[in-house]
Amino acid sequence: MSRLPAAVAALCAVQLIDVMGVTVIVSALPDMLATLGGSPALAGLVVPVYAVGFASLLLVSARLGDRVGHRRLLLGGLVVFAVGSLPAALAPGVSALIAARGVQGIAAAVTVPNALVLLTGLTRTDASRERALGTWNACGGLAGALGLVLGGIVTTTLGWRTIFWANLAIAFLLALALARLLPDRPTATPAGAPLPVFSAVLQVLAIAALVGAANIAEHSPPVSLPVLALAVVTTAVLVWRERRTRQPLVPAELWPQRGFLAGVAGSFGVTATTSAFVIITTLYLQNTQEFTAAAAGLMILPFSTAVVVAATTTGRLIGRVSAPRVLLGGLILVTASIMVVVVWPTMTTVVLACVASGAGNGAAAVAAYARATATVVEYQGAAAGLLNTAAQMGTAIVVALAVAVASLGSGPFDHRAGWLTSAGAGVVVIGTVVTLTLWVPGRHGHARNYPD
């Protein structure tokens, strides 16, 4: 029996547990605070510290995988994720929990892009590659909402520490399984090619500062401003450095490819719009409709179901319609469904919008990955790193912006303003993708087959 289906399933499970790590503790935060005795301000760092570690190191770890081997880094990252789960499960206080969550975020950044590179490398044809990407994106789309639901159920029934004990066991079992299932192949980048350390440090600082500023802006605007300034300065220096160095962090050959750029923009837009929509909708269900946290989480399941169905069937659609059209169609469907809720905020339109935006998410995410990873083999690591970095930045930035806009003023939380912010981000991304596809000069990325 072929090991390919098992390897694909295990690699997609890596995506599931790492992305779920962002949301699975949201429902558990009140219980964590009560158990550990920390201040609300300190407990509020438990979620963003994971996101900062995750987003800031994705690109660097992908490039490092090109150099030392994607399989080696993936297995090492899973071990670190398991090790980081142990002090989280045993944390005596909030500070210890925050430190452990930071380790988990770094480990997630190491595993996800390298798992994606290995996933695309396992496929033999364009059709099998698109099916594998569909499963990958279905797991990613399912993970966020599923984390909210499972986190609440596990915390209520077994206690919040069980979340981290489960993380430890799952990560360890995945490492054992993938060590047996994945062939040990030579790296795509020559061993002598150095990692651009200075560019890597600048990139980590820029992304960490940007994501950090977005996450603390709502509660501490004065603190977020200097952090945002640091992000702007380091980004400017990074761009200057990348344009002049002979060893850039992102290979210069990728930037002229319109398909790659459109895919990265689409990856940002898919997570930016739908993550903000889901968070604002969850708050709407609890604040306005008076749902419990668990019931609100269950109401988001239609979104997750639609993501899974769309992502697993989009591979065949791309073969008939083409990835650029599917990407634009998915983004338009997400944005339009959110606008319907802005105009008619009823329970019926909310449920329908969850289904429609979930379908758009699943389709657009697969198309974005298909476009951006359709590059020459030696640049798969950089492409995967940028895709995942864009996705995490989209979530962190637009969710924070939507919540901040909805919280403006002294009145009640303005859900419509939050939804409108999410839809506005979708309009901007659609315009960017159209511009890159139609008018920006450069080469189109072409799909190619990858050896089994």
- 118: domain CATH number is 1.20.1250.20
More confident residue, 70 or 3: 70
Quick one: which of 111, 109, 85, 101 has its CA closest to 178? 111
From its phi and psi, is residue 346 left (phi > 0), alpha (psi between -120 and 50) or beta?
Answer: beta
pLDDT attached to residue 439: 65
**Residue 108 predicted with pLDDT over 50:** yes
Per the CB < 8 A criterion, the answer to whether 334 and 270 are in contact is yes
Over residues 308-332, mean pLDDT: 84
Task: Give the count of domains, the chain.
Answer: 3
Claim to verify: residue 213 and residue 300 sit in the same structural domain? no
Claim to verify: residue 434 and residue 325 sit in the same structural domain? yes
Over residues 358-382, mean pLDDT: 78
Residue 346: strand, helix, or coil = coil
Claim to verify: residue 273 and residue 124 sit in the same structural domain? no
E runs forming strands in 216-327: none
Alpha carbon distance 214, 396 (integer Å): 7
pLDDT-based confidence at 186, cuts 50/70/90? low
Q: Is residue 294 part of a domain?
A: yes
pTM of the model as a whole: 0.78
Q: Is residue 188 part of a domain?
A: no
Over residues 334-351, mean pLDDT: 94
Alpha carbon distance 354, 301 (integer Å): 8
H-helix or E-strand spanning residue 62: helix 46-68
Q: Which of 149, 183, 217 is the last residue of a domain?
A: 183
Share of the chain above pLDDT 70, in %: 87
The mean of the pLDDT values for the chain is: 82
Residues of the domain holding 46? 1-183
Alpha carbon distance 10, 24 (integer Å): 20
Claim to verify: residue 214 and residue 314 sit in the same structural domain? no
Q: Is residue 190 part of a domain?
A: no
**Chain centre distance of CA 126:** 24
More confident residue, 162 or 147: 162
Q: Is residue 192 part of a domain?
A: no
Length of the chain: 452
Claim to verify: residue 279 and residue 413 sit in the same structural domain? yes
Alpha carbon distance 56, 53 (integer Å): 6
Per the CB < 8 A criterion, the answer to whether 24 and 163 are in contact is yes
The single-letter DSSP state of residue 345 is: -
Helices 70-89 and 94-122, axial angle in degrees (round to 10): 160
More confident residue, 224 or 343: 343
pLDDT attached to residue 190: 46
Claim to verify: residue 279 and residue 133 sit in the same structural domain? no
